[in-house]
Structure 1
Amino acid sequence: MTTTYSFTNFLKSKWRSSPKDGRQSRQNAMADVERDWVRHSALKLALDGDFKAPIDQLLKSGGSEVLDIGCGAGFWTTDMAMFQRVDLLELPLPYENDTFDVIFIRCMMDVIPDEQWDDVLQELVRIMKKGAYIECLETYPALVDAGPAMTTIMQLANSSDEAMSAAIQNPLPNRMAAISQLMGMQIQHIHTPVGRYGGAVGSLLLEHWDRVIESNRQKWVQSKLVGEKQLAVAINDLHAEVDSYQTYMSWYSVVAQKKGYKGPLILVEDFDSMKSKKNDDDRDDEDDTNSSSNSNNNSDS
C-alpha cells in the first residue's frame, strides 16, 4: 500500500554542531550514521515498530503531515515515508500554526540545550493541529545492573554532557505535563537488554556501545578523563560483563495529544502493566484448563 501523507525531516544543524563543554560534534559523520542505524534497528525490534502513538489509522487514511525532530541519518523517516529534508538554525520554525498531524522526537535530550527545551516544545505545540499527536522517545541516562566496566564507560559518556544531567532533573514528561494545550499524556516504559544474552536487540545495543567507545576513546584519554590502561581494561571486560550482570537500558515513550480534538483519548499502557496483565491472563487460562480437566474427570467417574 502506498501512503500519501507528507513527511518533513527537521535537523537542528546549530544544535548538532555547537561545541558543548569543549566538544565539537560532526554532522552525520560516517561513524555517527552507522551508530544511528544500529540504535534504530535495536529500537525498532524492541518497540515492535517505529512508534507507540495510536496513529496507524491516521497514517493509512492518507493526507497527514508528519514532522521528525532530530532526524539524524534519517533511518526512522525512511522507514515511515517519503520525506523532504529541512535544515534549520533557530526558532521559530517556518511553519504555519496547526500544520502537522504527528510530531516525533527521538534521542534528542543530549542534543538540544536544556534551557531551550521549553521553547522548543511550545513551538512544536504551535505547529500541531488540534488533535495531533506528539511522541518523544528517550533513554534514561543510567544503565541498570551495570558492572564496573560498563559503569566506567557510562560515566565517561555522560561526563561532559550537561544536557543529559539536566534531563535527569527535568525529563520530558514533566515539561510536557506543564503545557496546558496538551492532554491525555501517557508514558510507556521499555527495557532493552545490552549484551548477547538479550538476543538480537541486546547484540545491537552492545554494538551501539562499542561504536560509542570507538568514537570517543581518543577524546576521553586526551581529556584525561580516564587513563589509557584503565579504559583498555574496561573495554576488554565489557562484553563478558554485560552478559554476566544482564545489563539493560530503560527507555520511555511519552505521547500526548493537542486539545481541541473531539474523538477518544489515547490509550497507551505501561510496559510493566502489560506484562503483569499478560501473566495474569496466562494464569487464568491455566486455571480454566485445570478446572475443565477436573470436571471431565469427575463426569467420567
Structure 2
Amino acid sequence: MMVNTVVNNSITLNSSKRNSVFTDFLKLKWRSSKEPKINLRQRLPNTVDDIERDWVKHNALRTAFEGDFKAPVGRLLEAGGLEVLDIGTGAGFWTNEMASQFPLSHFTGIDLDKNVLPTSLLSRNVVYQRIDLIELPLPYENDSFDYIFIRSMLDTLPDSMWDSILKELIRIMKKGAYIECVEAYENLFDAGPSMRLLNQLIQQSLQHPPQSPTTPLITNTTNNTNANNCISSSSNYNTEERNPWPNRLANMTQLKNMHIYHTHTPIGIHGHTVGTLLLEFWERTIKSFQREWITNKLITEKDLVSTIKSMRNEVDEYKTYMSWYSVVAQKKGYDGPILRFDDVDEYDRVYTTIIA
C-alpha cells in the first residue's frame, strides 16, 4: 500500500550507509571536469539499457506520486505561457509527457549526454539542450523560468557542488516560480539476504566504476559466501554523506512555502503496478552490472542467477519497499496580480483555485 503524507517544514533525513545504494544507481553519471581540484571521476555513457531503466522508473514514480508533479502549477500550465526547465532530462520522458499535456506552455530539457537527448520532437513546445551543470553560470538570463523540475539527480555530482548549482537555479527562476526536487530516501526497507547481497555488489560498482582510476584490486572469489567477504574487505572507500533537498531548500533565503510529499513504494508483485515496475527496474540495473561482477569474480554466474531468483521471491516474502519524497518551494518576490480559476463540475458546483 502506498502512503502519502505532507510536511510543511524542513526535516533532517538520517541515512544508513549500509542500505544507501538505491539512490546511488538511480542515475549513474560519473562526470569529468577541467577543474583539477574537483577530482571527479570519468563519467560512463548512457546505454540503451540506461534509457530503458529510466523509462521504467519514470512510469513507476508517475504512478506512485499519482501524477508527473506535485508543485501547484497545474492550472498555470493549462493557462499557458509558462517556461519549464527539466534538469537531467535524459531521454526526455517527463518533458515530452508534460509538453503533450500542456501544449500552451514551453518546456526545455537539459542533460550532459547529448547522445541520449531525443532527436525527434514529439511536440512543438519542447526543446532539448546539451548543458553541463558544472559549467556555471548556466546560459540563461535572470528570471527565465516559471518552474524547474529535478528528479534523481542528487547523487550525480559531489555533494559540495549542489549549493552553488542551487543558487544558480534560483537566479534563473522568475519571482514566484516553483522548484521541485524528487529523490529516493537512502534506506531500503525490509530487504532479505539476497537483496542485501545485490545491494552490496551494486554499491561496490558505483563507488568504483570500471573506468575510475580508484578502482580497487578485487580478490578472486568463486562462491556466494566469499563474495560477501570480498565486498567487505574492498569497501573501505568513502561513502559521501549527502545533504537532502529539504535541508538545502530550507537554507535558501530566497525561497518560501516549502512542502514535502512522501510516498512508500513496494518492490515486487505484492506492490501491484508500482511494485512490478520497480522490481523490473532493479532487475535491469543488476543486468547492467552482471558482466563486471562475473569478470572481476565478485560472484560466479551460477551464484548470481541463484541470488537473483531468490531476490524475486524475497521481496514479496519480506514485503521489501523504499520511500521517496518530492519537495517543492517557491521563489520570493512576486507582487503581481492574484490569479483566480473557477471550475464547474457536472453538478454545477463551482470550485475556486487562487494562486498568489
Query: What TM-score, normalized to structure 1?
Result: 0.76
Contact 2:182/2:326 (<8 A) preserved: yes
Contact kept in structure 1, 2:31 and 2:157, CA below 8 Å: no
Question: Cα RMSD between the aligned structures?
Answer: 2.5
Could you tell me how far 1:21 is from its partner in structure 2? 8.4
Which region of structure 1 is more displaced relative to structure 2, 127-136 or 82-91? 82-91
Task: Decide which of 253, 265, 275 is 1:180's aligned counterpart.
Answer: 253
SS state at 1:141 partner: strand
The farther-off stretch of 233-242 and 125-134 is 233-242
Note the residue ranges of structure 1 that are not aligned, 5 or more in a row.
Answer: 1-14, 265-301
Asked whether the equivalents of residues 108 and 138 of structure 1 are also in contact (C-alpha less than 8 Å), the reply is yes
Deviation at 1:162, TM superposition (A): 5.7
Q: Counterparts in 2 of 1:144-293, with a 5 A limit? A: 144-159=189-204, 161=206, 165-166=239-240, 168-223=241-296, 225-226=298-299, 228-262=301-335
Q: Is the 8 A contact 1:102 1:133 kept in 2?
A: yes
With normalisation by structure 2, the TM-score equals: 0.65
Percent identity of paired positions between Structure 1 and Structure 2: 54
Distance of 1:227 and 1:173 partners within structure 2:
41
Of the three residues 98, 121, 124, the one matched with 2:143 is 98
- 2:49 aligned with 1:44: no
In 2, Cα distance between equivalents of 1:220 and 1:24: 19
Shift in Å, 1:169: 4.0
Contact 1:21 1:160 in 2 (8 A): no
Alignment partners' CA distance in 2, 1:74 and 1:105: 12
1:55 alignment partner in structure 2: 73
> By how many angstroms is 1:114 displaced?
1.8
Instruction: Kindly state the Cα deviation for residue 88 of structure 1 after the two structures are TM-superposed.
Output: 1.3
Runs of 4+ in 1 over 4 A off after TM superposition: 19-24, 160-165, 223-230
- Residue 136 of structure 2 is aligned to residue 117 of structure 1: no
Whether contact under 8 Å (1:110, 1:161) holds in the other structure is no
Question: In the alignment, is the contact (CA less than 8 A) between 1:93 and 1:123 conserved in 2?
Answer: yes
Question: 2:158 aligned with 1:85, yes or no?
Answer: no
Secondary structure of the 1:140 match is: strand
Q: How far is the alpha carbon of 1:151 from its aligned partner?
A: 1.2
Which consecutive residues of structure 2, in runs of 5 or more, have no partner in the other structure?
1-27, 33-38, 100-124, 209-237, 338-356
What amino acid is aligned across from residue 42 of structure 1 in structure 2? A
Alpha-carbon deviation of 1:128? 0.3
1:26 equivalent to 2:42? Answer no
User: What SS does the aligned partner of 1:16 have?
Assistant: coil
Instruction: Report the CA distance between 1:165 and its aligned residue.
Output: 4.2
Distance 1:97 1:30 in 2: 36
Query: What is the match of residue 72 of structure 1?
Result: 90
Label 1:159 to 1:182 Cα distance change in 2 as closer, same or farther (>3 A).
Answer: farther
Letter in 2 for 1:204: L
Q: Give the structure with the higher percent helix.
A: 1
